[in-house]
Amino acid sequence: MKGLVAYLVGIALFYSALIQGQINHVGLTKELAASESRLKSIQEFILDEESPSQSTIHLEAYWKLSPAQRFIDGYVKHTFLYDASKGSNIRLLLSDELEVDSVLSSAGISLNFNHNENKLEVDLLQFADGELIQVEIYYHGEPPSSGFGSFEINQSPYGRSYIYTLSEPYGSGDWWPCPVYRNSKIDSIDVFIETPSGMLAAGNGLLQSIDSSGVSWIHHWKHKYRIAPYLISTVVGDYFVRSDTVNLREASLPILDYVYPEENSIWEETDPRFPPMIQFVDSLLLPYPFSNEKYGHAQFPWSGGMEHQTMSSMRNPDETLKIHELAHQWFGNLVTCGSWSDIWLNEGFATYLTAVYFERFRPDEFEKWKKDQKEFILSIPGGSIYVSDTNSVTDIFSGRLSYSKAAMVLHMLRNQIGDVAFFNALRNYLTEFSSDGFAKTVDFVYIVESACSCDLQQFFQNWIFEQGHALVSVNWSQNLDVLEFELTQSTSVNSSDLKILKLPVLLQSDLGDSLIHIDLTESTQTFKMNVDFICTDIIIDPKNDVLVESRKNHVLSADISDDYLLYPNPSSTDVYLISKSGLELPKKVSVYDGNGKLQGEFEVSTDGRVRLENNFSWSQSVSWLVFIIDNKRFSLPYLKNKQTSF
CATH number of the domain where residue 172 is located: 2.60.40.1730
Q: Are residue 485 and residue 568 in the same domain, yes or no?
A: no
CA–CA distance, 116 with 156 (Å, rounded to integer) = 36
CA–CA distance, 178 with 182 (Å, rounded to integer) = 10
Q: What is the dihedral of CA 24, 25, 28, 30, to 10 degrees?
A: -120
Q: Please indicate, yes or no, if residue 154 is contained in any of the structural domains.
A: yes
Q: Please indicate, yes or no, if residue 245 is contained in any of the structural domains.
A: no
Q: Are residue 108 and residue 197 in the same domain, yes or no?
A: yes
Q: Are residue 450 and residue 581 in the same domain, yes or no?
A: no
How many other C-beta atoms are found inside a 10 Å radius of the C-beta of residue 25?
Answer: 22
Q: Please indicate, yes or no, if residue 645 is contained in any of the structural domains.
A: no
Which of 468, 493, 527 represents a domain boundary (last residue)? 468
Mutual orientation of helices 441-452 and 406-417 as an angle, nearest 10°?
A: 20
Phi, psi dihedrals of residue 119, rounded to the nearest 5°:
-125, 145
DSSP helix/strand/coil, 76: strand
Residues β-bridged to residue 502: 519
Q: Are residue 107 and residue 60 in the same domain, yes or no?
A: yes
Q: What is the pLDDT of residue 544?
A: 96
Q: Are residue 81 and residue 12 in the same domain, yes or no?
A: no
Q: Please indicate, yes or no, if residue 366 is contained in any of the structural domains.
A: yes
CA–CA distance, 207 with 188 (Å, rounded to integer) = 14
Q: Please indicate, yes or no, if residue 601 is contained in any of the structural domains.
A: yes
Q: Are residue 13 and residue 67 in the same domain, yes or no?
A: no
- Residue 544 sits in a domain of what CATH number? 2.60.40.1840
Q: In what order do the strands lie in the sheet with 632-639?
A: 598-603, 588-592, 622-629, 632-639
Beta strands in 371-454 (DSSP E): 438-439
Q: What is the pLDDT of residue 606?
A: 85
CA–CA distance, 286 with 420 (Å, rounded to integer) = 15
Q: Are residue 337 and residue 395 in the same domain, yes or no?
A: yes
Which residues, given as ranges, of the chain have pLDDT below 50? 1-20, 38-50, 556-559, 615-620, 642-646
Q: What is the pLDDT of residue 49?
A: 45
Q: What is the pLDDT of residue 231?
A: 95
Q: Are residue 220 and residue 230 in the same domain, yes or no?
A: yes
Q: Residue 598: which residues within 8 A CB-CB, separation 6 or more?
A: 510, 590, 591, 592
- Residue 604 sits in a domain of what CATH number? 2.60.40
Q: Please indicate, yes or no, if residue 296 is contained in any of the structural domains.
A: no
DSSP helix/strand/coil, 313: strand
DSSP helix/strand/coil, 261: helix
Residue type at 327?
A: A
Q: Are residue 142 and residue 222 in the same domain, yes or no?
A: yes
Cα distances from 163 to residues 151, 152, 282, 302, 534, in angstroms, run 7, 6, 31, 11, 66
Q: Residue 551: which residues within 8 A CB-CB, separation 6 or more?
A: 471, 472, 473, 474
Q: Are residue 533 and residue 485 in the same domain, yes or no?
A: yes
pTM: 0.82
- Cα angle, residue 186 at apex, residues 185 and 189 outer, rounded to 5°: 150
Number of residues written out for the chain:
646
CA–CA distance, 508 with 595 (Å, rounded to integer) = 8
CA–CA distance, 372 with 124 (Å, rounded to integer) = 55
Q: Please indicate, yes or no, if residue 301 is contained in any of the structural domains.
A: no
R_g (Cα) of the chain, nearest Å = 32
- Among 294, 356, 334, 403, which residue's Cα sits nearest to residue 37? 403
DSSP class of 447:
H
Q: How many domains does the chain have?
A: 4
Q: Are residue 547 and residue 572 in the same domain, yes or no?
A: no
Q: Please indicate, yes or no, if residue 297 is contained in any of the structural domains.
A: no
Q: Are residue 365 and residue 399 in the same domain, yes or no?
A: yes
Q: What is the pLDDT of residue 18?
A: 39
- Residue 375 sits in a domain of what CATH number? 1.10.390.10
- Among 35, 53, 70, 80, which residue's Cα sits nearest to residue 175? 70
Could you tell me the sign of the dihedral formed by the alpha carbons of 68, 74, 76, 77, in that order?
Answer: negative
Residue span of the structural domain in which 623 resides: 564-639
Q: Residue 18: which residues within 8 A CB-CB, separation 6 or more?
A: 269, 270
Q: What is the pLDDT of residues 551-589, one digit of tens each?
A: 766 554 434 566 787 777 666 667 888 887 778 888 888
Q: Residue 151: which residues within 8 A CB-CB, separation 6 or more?
A: 70, 72, 143, 163, 165, 171, 174, 175
User: Do the Cβ atoms of 25 and 368 come closer than 8 Å?
Assistant: yes
